[in-house]
Amino acid sequence: MNVSRRSFLATAALTTAVPTFVASQAQAASAAPAGKRIKLGISSYSYWHFKTERVPIETVMDKSAALGVAGVDILHRQMDIPEKEPLDAAGRAYLRKLKRHAFVNGLSVICVSTHQSFVNPNPEEVAKNVEHTQKCIEVAYELGAPCIRINTGRWGTSKDFDELMANRGIEPVLPGYAEDDGFKWCIDGIQRCLAKAEECGVILALENHWGLARTPEGLMRIVNAIPSPWLGVLMDTGNFLEDPYEKLRQIAKPTIFVQAKTYPGGGEWYTLDLNYRRIAQILADVNYTGFVSLEMEGKENPDIAVPKSLAMLRKAFRL
């Protein structure tokens, strides 16, 4: 066969390039994480800690989109709807506007963080909180959010939240009652919300917040008493103030949503030095592949603190 010098050189170059290309592709494939991956979100709480003028949800969405996260976790009290009143036509219109704003910014609404308390000896007060939670489920449904954050509530024997934090989240039981009473009221209250949750396709995510869920044992006592696919755990990484890692491990398996606390500039009430590589491993050990939503609770300007915190989380979770 008569092969020209030009053909020979072209063939030789191709022969050399193919193995190099295949090797580089194989190297890239081996470097890429296999399987499902955790996605990051931002809680609107990161931009508003109740102490200043309320930051609009639309502003949080715009900032979140610019930072390249997948979703926003919306604090119910930060929205422009009455907290205590039923959801009316104006409220639904506002929620649909938010839903559209998220969509055109390439975001999902991943959670609605709500407040309620089922720890009350007065059945009428428990009923009001059940009704409020059912309304919050409807809010999440309108926004397309798959879950809401719920709390157990607490005894209310602290003068205010500052006093509660000064006492490391511990407060005495109401006189004349026992902790078992509180658990009974809470379990009953949550159970009364499950039908609405299933109807709307919105999971109740019980947070290791203050009150009965201040300890992993208290949280799991409630979750284990209500075996329902519409109830799971919301892991807040900053709400176990002592020996957090073993406690986070105890609640990791039923966790369906994670809020990741950071404290740039020092926390509003306390500061924890959390090792997120260690927390990432705790979640990996139970094959958690859901959302991790940043809750920046530091005093630093959020426009500086939030991007910095996201960079840290991306590194810790290898994203």
**Least confident residue range of 3-17, 48-62, 132-146, 292-306:** 3-17
Q: What does the pLDDT read at residue 164?
A: 86
E strand or H helix at 112, and its extent?
strand 108-113
User: Hey, what amino acid is at 287?
Assistant: N
**Model pLDDT for residues 81-93, shown as the tens digit of each residue:** 988 888 999 999 9
Q: Looking up tokens 């006492």, which residue turns up?
A: 167
Higher pLDDT residue, 56 or 8? Answer: 56
> Given a cut of 80, is residue 34 above it in pLDDT?
no
Q: What percent of the chain has pLDDT over 90?
A: 79
Is the pTM above the cut of 0.75? yes
Do the Cβ atoms of 54 and 74 come closer than 8 Å?
no
E strand or H helix at 123, and its extent?
helix 123-143
Closest C-alpha to 274, from 304, 303, 219, 236: 236
> Given a cut of 70, is residue 17 above it in pLDDT?
no
> Phi-psi bin for 265: left (phi > 0), alpha (psi -120 to 50), beta?
left
CA atoms within 13 A on the CB side of 238: 19
User: Hey, what amino acid is at 139?
Assistant: V
User: Hey, what amino acid is at 217?
Assistant: E
Do the Cβ atoms of 42 and 294 come closer than 8 Å?
yes
- Which CATH number is 35-316's, of 3.40.50.2300, 3.20.20.150, 3.40.50.300, 3.20.20.140? 3.20.20.150
pLDDT-derived band at 66 (thresholds 50, 70, 90) equals very high
Query: Residue 234 and residue 254: Cα distance in Å, rounded?
Result: 9
For 60, phi then psi, to 5°, come to -65, -40
pLDDT average, residue stretch 184-201: 98
Sign of CA dihedral 81, 87, 93, 96: positive
Q: Report helix, strand or coil for 232.
A: strand
Do the Cβ atoms of 152 and 211 come closer than 8 Å?
yes
Closest C-alpha to 271, from 165, 170, 171, 161: 165
pLDDT-derived band at 169 (thresholds 50, 70, 90) equals confident
**Model pLDDT for residues 247-301, shown as the tens digit of each residue:** 999 999 999 999 999 999 999 999 999 999 999 999 999 999 999 999 999 999 9
Domains of the chain: which residue ranges?
1-32, 35-316
**Model pLDDT for residues 196-234, shown as the tens digit of each residue:** 999 999 999 999 998 999 999 999 999 999 999 999 999
> Given a cut of 90, is residue 2 above it in pLDDT?
no
pLDDT-derived band at 8 (thresholds 50, 70, 90) equals very low
**Model pLDDT for residues 217-227, shown as the tens digit of each residue:** 999 999 999 99
Residue 197 CB contacts under 8 Å (≥ 6 apart), including other chains? 137, 203, 204, 230, 231
Q: Mean pLDDT in the chain?
A: 90
Count the helices and strands in the chain (H runs, E runs). Answer: 11, 8
Helices (H), 192-300: 194-200, 216-225, 244-252, 276-285
Residue 224 CB contacts under 8 Å (≥ 6 apart), including other chains? none
